[in-house]
């Protein structure tokens, strides 16, 4: 659910005030279903839950044109901004590729140096995990799954690939690529 929460909160933050249908349109136009496991129904469920938890509030609609099935417009509360930032920071350090992808999608909403630190944390944690995997015993004819050389090798290769991807991203950001919250309007200030 945290990936959906992050996507929904980020969409509303980018817009300022948003209908549920506009959030849905953002995610479908970004083709989020190809890089996350978000399903359309989860967007509306997340909107309801976020409102119930005080992360969003409903706003009076100034729009005279019906944008979709829901006329409810949402804005983000201070608690919602804090939740978004916390989820984003976590996503940018996460090993799980779909969660990390959502973090990348919204990384520009944080200051550049902060994003670099978060990605450096991710790279360090990935390196520690990869180093740990090299210490695991394997057996040619494994007696249990933890000793299967293919399983250990799969995870080691995945982690090494993620280390390389993270270091490339850090280099791009350090080289001045992309615009971040400390350089543009509309971001979350830390």
Tell me the pLDDT tens digit for each residue of 39-71. 877 888 899 899 999 999 988 666 555 554 446
Greater model confidence, 113 or 2: 113
Render pLDDT for 159-178 as a digit per residue (tens, 0 to 9): 999 999 999 999 999 999 99
- Give the Cα-Cα-Cα angle 80, 57, 46 (nearest 5 degrees): 65
Number of residues that this document lists for the chain: 190
Taking CA atoms, 27 is separated from 7, 74, 86, 122, in Å, by: 8, 16, 20, 26
Instruction: Specify the pLDDT at position 39.
Output: 80
Helix axes 149-174, 112-135, angle to 10 degrees: 160
Instruction: Specify the pLDDT at position 190.
Output: 46
Most confidently modeled range among 35-39, 67-71, 72-76, 85-89: 85-89
CA 176 centroid distance within chain: 21
Longest dimension (CA), the chain: 69
CA 52 centroid distance within chain: 22
pTM of the model: 0.85
Q: Phi first, then psi: what are they for 112, rounded to 5°?
A: -50, -50
Give the Cα separation of 79 and 56 in Å (integer): 8
Render pLDDT for 88-143 as a digit per residue (tens, 0 to 9): 999 999 999 999 999 999 999 999 999 999 999 999 999 999 999 999 999 999 99
12, 75 in Cβ contact below 8 A?
A: yes
């Amino acid at each position: 659910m945290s990936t959906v929460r992050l996507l929904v909160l980020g969409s509303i933050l980018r817009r300022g005030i948003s209908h549920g249908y506009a959030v849905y349109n953002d995610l479908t136009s970004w083709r989020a279903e190809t890089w996350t496991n978000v399903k359309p129904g989860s967007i509306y469920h997340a909107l309801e839950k976020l409102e119930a938890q005080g992360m969003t509030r409903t706003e009076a609609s100034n729009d005279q044109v019906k944008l979709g099935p829901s006329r409810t417009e949402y804005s983000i509360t201070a608690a919602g901004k804090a939740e978004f930032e916390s989820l984003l920071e976590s996503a940018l350090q996460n090993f799980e590729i779909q969660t990390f992808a959502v973090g990348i999608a919204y990384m520009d909403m944080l200051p550049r140096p902060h994003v670099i630190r978060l990605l450096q944390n991710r790279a360090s944690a990935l390196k520690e995990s990869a180093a740990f995997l090299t210490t695991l015993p394997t057996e040619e004819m494994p007696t249990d799954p933890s000793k299967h050389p293919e399983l250990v090798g799969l995870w080691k290769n995945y982690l090494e690939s993620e280390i390389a991807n993270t270091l490339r991203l850090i280099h791009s950001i350090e080289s001045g690529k992309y615009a971040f919250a400390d350089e543009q309007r509309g971001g979350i200030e830390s």
